[in-house]
Amino acid sequence: MTFNNLTWLDLLCLTGVGVYLVKKVVIKKNLIPYPPGPRGWPLIGNILDIPRTKPWVTFTEWGEMYGDITHIEVLGRHIIVLNSVKTAVEMMDNKSIVYSDRPVLPMSGELVGWKDSLPFLPYGDLFRQQRKNLHRVIGSRAAMGVYNEIEEAETHQFLKRVLAKPDRLQGHVRHTVGAIVLRISHGYEVKENDDPFIDLANRVTANGSEATEPGAFLVDILPFLTKVPAWFPGAGFKRIAREWRGTLEEMVSAPHEFVKDQMAAGIAPVSLTSNLLEGGVSAKEDHAVKWSAFSLYAGGTDTTVSAIYSFFLAMTLFPDVQKRAQAEIDAVVGPGRLPSFADRDSLPYTEALVKEVLRWNVVLPTGFPHCVAEDDIHDGYYIPKGSIVLPNIWFMLNDPRTYANPSQFNPERFLAKDGKEPETEPRTTCFGFGRRVCPGLHLADASIWISTAMSLAVFDISKVVENGVELTPEVDPLPGTASHPKPFKCSIKPRSATALGLIEQDTNY
């Protein structure tokens, strides 16, 4: 049941608001005001103001009208939207103990079953255990260095796939990112074609992005709908959730059992899962390991896929940027080999290009909802316990107060020039805030960088010409918690015979 097809059941449920109001006879009167926001309706509050698609656009409009903090209320649940990095840092970083909880998400967390994964866990012991598990493996750039060889080898295979079938770019990106994460999380080497875990994981991440999009399912606004039986007219969301839950449970369990079987046979390669299971674990610990490994996959794939696909879109649209980055790589790396992580510090423009990709096409436009653990007063406004807090990351990375001409794709904004300081580092924003910052940020950053450097070294990326007409891709991010560029066509060809040789060569990674 979505907002796009409201049924008589929805209206029946809205009448149930009366039951809620009976329980709320006495309304707490606060001398301290809530943050400003659109005026709600009697009984239902701002339920009609919740955007159905691309919520970051509506949130940006609210920011223009009401300032950096916007407040709405839906059936007694307070929702706070943040429209500046400064405010997000003050609240979610500086007061992280207050702003690090997670709300209960009825559709994705309870019905689909994501509640045991790290992004959904409430702040507490289980959350800290999973973060500790992931930090051991990918918690810093230095820790990620152990996996540089895997990243380089899988990205080289990506180049070969793109060379063979350039019209399947997005599929190649998904395959490669999945292959890298599964090697790290479970020691699993994916098959070149029709890999069962890759197919399963792609469905799980797509379902998860759809299930968590703000305003997509009415049950997230009216949680009592979770009690409606699946056969009831209009309760199609229950049937969707049951299907998605089965896919999720298979993705969580199947790779975990694969590692256990390999360990029993004495042939398990080193991975997050095998390391954590070494020496035996209790049932509770086994559960935590299983979901930690899945959380690594869930947090490190869909977002990275979106960013790499956005890179190819940017290179299609901005050939001058591509040429400058290629000139830098040619000068530093030379024609005889592919770039490696050892070259990263010597490629400042390429580094700036990666930053601009992350800023220009924001992967998580509204972040992931935080929940307030206790009453707070911020900037003279009352923020009640239990409020949902949504950072409008899209606007933060397109805020003209922070980025000059934000609609322009310009990597130079991140380079010091003529005594002028670089503009604000986007990676401090796009990966979230406080104790909920993405634990896979170093993995995602490494994957995006090596894909960018290797692809630029050997490919020319340009617009497709059909029937004598040059096709310009549309820049239109798709809805979803993890937003992807709309599918587009581009031409991808080897830069030279030497580049072709580098793609086709066998390497000993």
| Contact of 111 with 241, CB cutoff 8 Å | yes
Tell me the C-alpha distance between 56 and 198, whole Å. 30
Residue ranges of alpha helices (H) inside 348-431 are: 348-360, 393-396, 427-430
- How big is the CA angle at 199 (ends 445 and 164), to the nearest 5 degrees? 75
Tell me the C-alpha distance between 305 and 294, whole Å. 17
Dihedral sign from CA coordinates of 24, 27, 32, 33: positive
Tell me the C-alpha distance between 252 and 249, whole Å. 5
Bridge pairing between strands 381-383 and 469-471: unpaired
Sorted by sequence, the CB contacts under 8 Å of residue 504 that are 6+ apart come out as 160, 163
Residue 438 labeled ligand binder: yes
DSSP element (H, E) containing 86: helix 85-88
- How big is the CA angle at 170 (ends 494 and 270), to the nearest 5 degrees? 95
Tell me the C-alpha distance between 221 and 29, whole Å. 24
Tell me the C-alpha distance between 408 and 26, whole Å. 52
Sorted by sequence, the CB contacts under 8 Å of residue 170 that are 6+ apart come out as 305, 309, 487
Q: Please identify which residue in the block is written with the tokens 């993705």.
A: 251
Tell me the C-alpha distance between 461 and 313, whole Å. 9
The radius of gyration of the chain from alpha carbons, rounded to an integer in Å, stands at: 24
Q: Write down how long the chain is.
A: 509
- How big is the CA angle at 374 (ends 95 and 376), to the nearest 5 degrees? 60
Helices (H) and strands (E) in the chain, counts: 19, 10
Distances (CA, A) of 508 to 66, 150, 157, 335: 58, 11, 12, 19
Beta-strand (E) ranges in 362-434?
370-371, 376-378, 381-383, 388-391
Distances (CA, A) of 279 to 264, 275, 286, 294: 12, 9, 12, 21
| Contact of 311 with 162, CB cutoff 8 Å | no
Distances (CA, A) of 365 to 104, 422, 469, 475, 478: 20, 23, 33, 15, 11
Binding site as annotated, residues for heme: 438
Binding site as annotated, residues: 438
